[in-house]
Copies of this chain bind each other. A is one copy, B any other.
Amino acid sequence: MSHPHPELGPPPPLPEGGLRITPLGGLGEIGRNMTVFEYGGRLLIVDCGVLFPEEEQPGVDLILPDFTSIRDRLDEVDGIVLTHGHEDHIGAVPFLLREKPDIPLIGSKLTLALIEAKLAEHRIRPYSLEVTEGQRERIGPFECEFIAVNHSIPDALAVAVRTPAGLVVHTGDFKMDQLPLDRRITDLRTFARLGEEGIDLLLADSTNAEVPGFVTPERDITPVLRQVFARAERRIIVASFASHVHRIQQVMDTAHEYGRKVALVGRSMVRNMGIARDLGYLHVPGGLVVDVKSLDDLPDEDVVLVCTGSQGEPMAALSRMANRDHQIRIVEGDTVILASSLIPGNETAVYRVINGLTRWGANVVHKGNAKVHVSGHASSGELLYLYNICRPRNVMPVHGEWRHLRANADLAVLTGVPRERAVIAEDGVVVDLVDGVAKISGKVQAGYVYVDGLSVGDVTEASLKDRRILGEEGIVSVFVVVDSTTGKVVGGPHVQARGSGIDDEAFGAVIPKIEEALATAASNAVAEPHQLQQMMRRAIGKWVSDTYRRRPMILPVVVEV
């Protein structure tokens, strides 16, 4: 991938009194958000999330931030502030705490409940400090103040970090719904007060910086749900994220209004909604929620199912319903609502699910044909409000691919931030705030760390490159057995192909060419297995390319007996 900061080396020592900000994830991608603040030799981490793999990372389960640059300094970490409970902000915490379990976690009530449930699965009991909006906490040398922000999960916080180097504000994920269901708005009065005080550096969510205008209020979804419920003849199945409490709240309220019972399907949905209800974030009318097993006793028109799988995940309930591989059998007249975003890269999978559901006769309502989703991230109009209220001296866009970071920086510049004070960094690019000026000072290691099955970091870029070639072109393996004393071929050449689209029999034609290559080798006194392998690779590669215009991976092996 091209890179505009290729010349950067490791950063120099941080000048005394300076604050260093190192993004280890989330700058260059949507996900694995993690920012490290350093002051006076101490570290504060904000968020520690995972990134979900795309098609260029085949077979990978999760992608983590690279902890290399702080691995030897975990004793200097005073805490991890978690801005909210989404996976891309908390999902990598277990992997970091595995290395040092006693780093304190700081977050709101719901955020901590979600990370604690996750850590319990990893058998880790963290040291947690619950905070709420308006609260100030000194965490090492970092004076933190927590600010309410509105997002697509309740109880999200922004954080202001004061050190002698200045006042830095990190928004976390946020938007500015002025009429949120829980009436907990993004606290612009506090942002204004901090702006009056003087914000030296503002790190703001870039996800929707390219999107014109303003995000529609979450509550505008209820009238759409009502329309769908009014028309629905049989069951209603709603797929959403398992953390979107306010979306599920609206589904439950609408179900209640229309006299339907609600069953939650799927482990994460049941667990998260249980936590949200226990903590008072989700309000469930008595008797509304029933067990999925009791659905057989209810007429179809009295049923709402709430499940995950809105991104087309093949193992989730919704995909299995689309494939008739689930106890819930979709029939003509069922209604399915995908009350969720469509994350780029998931389109094909999601459309496959929609096609499967409509084949069985379901009426599928999704963001392409009805307003059943609003984003959780501020659009450009909202970001302009933020910049004008905060009037920061420096900005550093966070949470986004390069195009989002760039669009966010452009918005800051439009409000009067000088272009040279709008610092577009990337993962690993170190920004130092010294004497009120934020500048890039170097680069640390911040590559992708792949989780695949039980292993963390064993799958490398080289393995993925091999996988991509294997997946596109298949493999041809060839081997021969050579007498170690005479150098004579005593077994093979034996050719096998997988995924190449070439019949094993067709390779009959290449055997003479391999034998010829081996004979040439013998006459030139070449006997090293490594060299013989190279010659076989070339002979087969040329034949496949000439005959089929393809380039499968070729795995030549010579065994001496």
Contacts and interface: CB of A to CB of B under 8 A. Distances in A.
Interface of A: 1-4, 28, 54-56, 58-59, 210-212, 322-324, 344-345, 347-348, 351, 354-356, 358-361, 364, 368-369, 401-403, 406-407, 450, 452-455, 458-460, 463-464, 466-475, 477, 479, 481, 490-492, 494, 496, 498-503, 547-550, 553, 555, 557, 559-561
Contacts of A491: 481, 559-561
Nearest to A368: B210
15 contacts: A1-B323, A1-B356, A2-B323, A2-B360, A58-B471, A59-B501, A211-B369, A351-B401, A354-B403, A359-B402, A452-B501, A464-B499, A466-B474, A481-B561, A491-B560
Given A450-B501, A458-B503, A470-B471, 9 more contacts: A1-B356, A4-B359, A56-B348, A210-B368, A210-B369, A452-B501, A454-B548, A466-B498, A477-B555
Contacts of A403: 351, 354-355, 358, 364
A237 to B, nearest CB: 16
B501 A460 contact: yes
Question: How many copies of this chain does one complex carry?
Answer: 2
Nearest to A551: B453
Contacts of A458: 501-503, 548
Nearest to A553: B498
A561 B494 CA distance: 12
A210 B369 CA distance: 6
Identify which of A471, A472, A479 gathers the most chain B CB atoms within 10 Å of its CB: A471
Given A348-B345, A466-B498, A58 B555 contact: no
A470 B455 contact: no
Contacts of A58: 471-472
Contacts of A59: 471-474, 501, 550
A351 B2 CA distance: 14
Contacts of A475: 470, 475, 498, 555
Contacts of A469: 499
Given A402-B355, A553-B498, A468 B466 contact: no
A62 to B, nearest CB: 13
A364 B211 CA distance: 13
